[in-house]
């Protein structure tokens, strides 16, 4: 979404700061940056306004006297008349100048910049972002009731894409920062607002946070996030959400881990977004014919689909030895896109189910040469765990039957407490994580827990 910043020449430094406090998806137009040398100034400004979705007018004494600002106000009002939609939003930078502003501007709702200190400008950025989202909603509602022309339809499509991306980016930031906070250790809304501000999100007080959460929840962007008037926490993680977090870091971890796989091996691939990246690396090697005679055992629907699609593409048959894929049977979980043994699908699930499906796989493939496992966090200080037993059966089985056990952990999960153990550090795990800003203390603490155990820890740079 494009915003035209109309201002007097005395406010150049201010508009740069305002632009800095806007989300990256809000493209603020500045003449000093966006007006090409040699361009006719009047034509360039008028064209920029025509292509913008909002004009933000900074009102001070100099702006009231500026001929260029007067022209920009006129062009903005002409655009409003032609579209029937609000376009000009005034910002009162100097209360004493307000009385002398264009009467057509004074009649409008306005934002106010009380001073040019950092917090005031940041607050204006938050208010402007909120107004933009409100204007988007108004415009989309209005355009659903009319038949727009071709150019207007194209503009609407861009508006929808921008709004969707803004909402999705905000929801992803919120959920990623909520990863350590669950029902047993929720975070206070005031503390969470502070955390988001430190992370660079334009956000004010708790009511602003609650308003944003309400808006995103109404749009079904915060599935798995629960909150009341005091606390907020993450009740569950969807697969699609986890898969989109720290993707490049997960690739680096997977590239390092996948070097351990050799032709002729039997490999266990646990469900999880980081282990999925290992499967991506195996696909590349199968395609290049540098890996063959591979047996893969997995409970991950995406991993099974990825590998079998590749085998189909390269023309492999049921008996070919490029690779074969064994998928555990059972209940398919929509939360993790994995299967769990039928015994776990019983209602209620038995405390100690007999997992015959797992034993049947063992009869077919024998022991695993290597198992790649994901982990949701820590079980106490002696091992790794998951949130419930549904996620534990295959993990525990792979740990028990594999010669080597590689656990691939997103560094954000190193200090998240979990309820159900699937492996202990006494079992000789090889745990691989990656560097992530702000996680240095968690990485150091986790490394200390492994001292004196048969397990090892590697941090991929």
Q: Report how far residue 232's alpha carbon sits from residue 225's, in angstroms, rounded to the nearest whole number.
A: 7
pLDDT band of residue 325 (cuts 50, 70, 90) is very high
Q: Best-predicted range by mean pLDDT among 20-34, 137-151, 221-235, 440-454?
A: 440-454
Q: Distance (Å, rounded) from C-alpha 302 to C-alpha 314?
A: 19
pLDDT at position 179 is: 76
Do residues 104 and 200 share a domain? no
pLDDT digits (tens, 9 = 90+) for 247-259: 788 889 999 999 9
407: burial class by Cβ within 10 Å (0-12, 13-18, 19+)?
Answer: buried
In this prediction, residue 323 carries a pLDDT of 86
Summarised one tens digit per residue, pLDDT across range 92-151 is 998 999 989 999 998 888 888 888 887 788 778 777 877 776 676 566 555 554 444 444
In a domain, 191, yes or no: yes
Instruction: Please spell the DSSP secondary structure of 337-356, one letter per residue.
Output: TEEE-HHHHSSSPPSS---H
User: Is residue 401 a contact partner of residue 220, using CB atoms and an 8 Å limit?
Assistant: no
Query: What is the DSSP-derived secondary structure letter of residue 233?
Result: E
Question: What count of Cα atoms within 13 Å lies in the side-chain half-sphere of residue 99?
Answer: 1
- For range 157-164, the mean pLDDT: 60
pLDDT for position 165: 67
Do 99 and 222 fall within a single domain? no
Residue 211: per-residue pLDDT = 85
Statement to judge: residues 254 and 229 lie in one domain: no
- pLDDT for position 350: 52
Kindly state the average pLDDT of the residues 144-171.
Answer: 57
Tell me how crowded residue 11 is: count the other CB atoms within 10 A of its CB. Answer: 20
Domain span at residue 287? 245-460
Helical H runs in 180-272? 189-198, 206-218, 239-243, 247-258
27-36, 173-182, 244-253, 266-275: the lowest-pLDDT one: 27-36
**What pTM, to 2 d.p., does this model score?**
0.60
> What's residue 216's pLDDT?
84
Per-residue pLDDT, averaged over 322-334, amounts to 86
Instruction: Let me know whether 304 and 199 are in one domain.
Output: no
Rounded-to-integer distance, Cα 341 and Cα 329, Å: 6
Residues 390 and 429 grouped into a single domain: yes
Residue (of 240, 296, 260) closest to 407 by Cα position? 260
pLDDT at 294: 92
pLDDT of residue 438: 77
State mean pLDDT over 403-417: 90
* Domain CATH number, residue 121: 3.40.50.10140
- Cβ-in-10-Å burial (0-12, 13-18, 19+) of 146 comes to exposed
Interval 34-77: pLDDT, tens: 777 777 888 889 988 988 888 999 999 999 999 999 999 999 99
Does residue 390 carry a pLDDT above 70?
yes
Domain shared by 88 and 226, yes or no: no
For the chain, how many structural domains are there in total? 3
Of 287, 337, 289, the C-alpha closest to 312 is: 287
Confidence band (pLDDT; 50, 70, 90) for 444? very high
Q: Examine the fold and report which residue of 211, 235, 259 is the final residue of a domain before the chain moves on.
A: 235
Indicate whether 296 and 396 sit together in one domain.
Answer: yes
State yes or no: pLDDT of 152 exceeds 60.
no
With beta carbons less than 8 A apart as the criterion, state whether 273 and 242 touch: yes
Separation of alpha carbons 392 and 374, rounded Å: 11
Who's near 80: CB < 8 A, 6+ residues apart?
86, 87, 88
Q: Give the list of residues 6+ apart from residue 345 with CB closer than 8 angstroms, or none.
A: 330, 331
- Quick check: 361 pLDDT over 90? no
Kindly tell me if the per-residue pLDDT of 279 is higher than 90.
yes
- Tokens 């047996």 sit on residue: 295
Please check whether residue 77 is in contact with residue 57, taking contact to mean a CB–CB distance below 8 angstroms.
no
Q: State the pLDDT at residue 17.
A: 86
Quick one: pLDDT at residue 159? 55
CATH number at residue 452: 3.40.50.1360
Q: How many Cβ atoms from other residues are within 10 Å of residue 2's Cβ?
A: 17
Tell me whether residue 126 is in a domain: yes
pLDDT value at position 141? 56
Q: Is residue 161 part of a domain?
A: no
Which has the closest alpha carbon to 181: 238, 111, 235, 254? 235
Clarify whether residues 329 and 449 are in a common domain. Answer: yes
- Six token digits for residue 219: 């749009």
Judge whether 309 lies within some domain. yes
Closest to 454 (Cα-Cα) out of 436, 433, 428: 428
Q: Specify if 160 maps to a domain.
A: no
Cβ atoms of 205 and 155 closer than 8 Å: no
Average pLDDT, the chain: 83
Alpha-carbon separation of residue 79 from 30, 86, 109, 143 (angstroms): 19, 9, 18, 16
Question: Is residue 158, in this structure, part of any structural domain at all?
Answer: no
Q: What is the pLDDT of residue 115?
A: 84
What confidence tens digit (pLDDT) does each residue in 171-221 have? 877 887 887 787 778 899 999 988 887 776 666 678 888 888 888 887 777
CB 179 within 8 A of CB 416: yes
Check whether 295 has a pLDDT greater than 90: yes
Residue with tokens 């029902």: 183
Tell which wins on pLDDT, 291 or 158.
Answer: 291
Are 432 and 406 in contact by the 8 Å Cβ rule? The answer is: yes
Do residues 225 and 337 share a domain?
A: no
Residue after which a domain boundary falls, among 235, 267, 287? 235
Specify the pLDDT at position 405.
Answer: 96
Query: Per-residue pLDDT for 412 more than 60?
Result: yes
Cα(168)–Cα(11) distance, integer angstroms: 33
């Amino acid at each position: 979404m494009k915003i035209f910043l109309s201002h007097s020449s005395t406010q150049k430094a201010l508009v740069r700061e305002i632009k800095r406090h806007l989300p990256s998806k809000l493209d603020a137009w500045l003449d000093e940056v966006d007006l090409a040398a040699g361009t006719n100034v009047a034509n360039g400004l008028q064209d920029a306004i025509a292509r913008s979705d909002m004009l933000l007018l900074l009102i001070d004494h100099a702006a009231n006297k500026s001929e260029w600002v007067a022209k920009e106000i006129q062009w903005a009002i002409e655009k409003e008349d032609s579209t029937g939609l609000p376009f000009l939003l005034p910002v009162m930078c100097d209360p004493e100048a307000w009385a002398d502003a264009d009467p057509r501007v004074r009649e409008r709702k306005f934002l106010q910049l009380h001073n040019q200190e950092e917090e005031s400008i940041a607050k204006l950025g938050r208010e402007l972002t909120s107004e933009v989202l409100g204007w988007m909603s108004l415009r989309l509602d209005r355009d659903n009731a009319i038949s727009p022309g071709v150019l207007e339809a194209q503009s609407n499509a861009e508006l929808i894409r921008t709004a969707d991306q803004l909402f999705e980016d905000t929801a992803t930031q919120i959920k990623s920062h909520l990863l350590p906070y669950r029902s047993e250790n929720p975070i206070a809304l005031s503390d969470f607002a502070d955390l988001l501000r430190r992370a660079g999100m334009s956000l004010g007080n708790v009511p602003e946070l609650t308003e944003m959460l309400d808006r995103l929840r109404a749009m079904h962007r915060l599935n798995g996030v629960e909150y009341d008037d005091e606390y907020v926490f993450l009740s569950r993680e969807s697969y699609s959400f986890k898969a989109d977090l720290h993707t490049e870091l997960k690739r680096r971890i997977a590239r390092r881990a996948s070097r351990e796989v050799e032709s002729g091996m039997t490999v266990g691939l646990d469900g999880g977004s980081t282990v999925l990246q290992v499967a991506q690396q195996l696909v590349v090697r199968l395609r290049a014919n540098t890996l063959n005679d591979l047996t893969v055992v997995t409970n991950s629907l995406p991993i099974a689909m990825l590998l079998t699609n590749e085998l189909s593409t390269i023309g492999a048959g049921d008996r070919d030895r490029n690779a074969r894929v064994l998928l555990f049977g059972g209940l398919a979980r929509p939360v993790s896109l994995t299967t769990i043994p039928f015994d776990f699908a019983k209602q209620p699930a038995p405390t100690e189910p007999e997992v015959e499906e797992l034993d049947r796989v063992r009869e077919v493939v024998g022991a695993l040469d290597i198992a790649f496992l994901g982990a949701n966090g820590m079980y106490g200080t002696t091992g790794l765990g998951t949130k419930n037993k549904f996620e534990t059966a295959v993990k525990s089985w792979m740990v028990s039957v594999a010669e080597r056990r590689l656990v691939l952990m997103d560094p954000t999960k190193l200090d998240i407490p979990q309820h159900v153990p699937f492996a202990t550090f006494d079992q000789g795990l090889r745990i691989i994580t990656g560097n992530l800003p702000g996680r240095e203390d968690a990485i150091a603490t986790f490394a200390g827990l492994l001292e004196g155990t048969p397990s090892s820890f590697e941090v991929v740079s």
